Amino acid sequence: PSSAQEISRELPKFNVIFFHYRGGGCSDFRTNSSSWDTLLNSDGVISDLEAIRKEYGIASWQGVLGFSYGTNIARRYSHQFPDLTGILILEGLND
């Protein structure tokens, strides 16, 4: 099983949202923008994570978990939005 499946199984009382950054993992990257490279960086991923929170109507995250490169995103997100981040969990630090 994947890490996502394992985490979901371990946290049955929580709704867990997993996402891949644009063009990474199972994500597709399509844009008509000539400045697509501005989205393919950590700041763009953090903006996308914040957009996901707003789209789902989540007042704040109970926890933010990052794996590998995601540890950088999770750490930076929690620093930029401390009032929107409960606990911070980093697995396989990458900074």
Q: Tokens in use for 22?
A: 């644009």
Q: What is the pLDDT of residues 28-58, one digit of tens each?
A: 666 665 555 655 688 888 998 999 999 999 9
Top pLDDT among 17 and 56 is at 56
pLDDT for the residue numbered 1: 42
Q: How far apart are CA 55 and CA 21, in angstroms?
A: 16
Average pLDDT of the chain is 80
Q: Which phi and psi (to 5°) does residue 4 adopt?
A: -60, -45
Tell me what percent of the residues of the chain surpass a pLDDT of 70.
Answer: 71
Are 28 and 21 in contact by the 8 Å Cβ rule? The answer is: no
Distances in Å between the alpha carbon of 40 and those of 8, 43, 82, 84?
27, 8, 23, 23
What is the per-residue pLDDT for 55? 95
The pLDDT of residue 93 is: 65
Please determine, for residue 7, whether its predicted confidence score (pLDDT) is greater than 80.
no
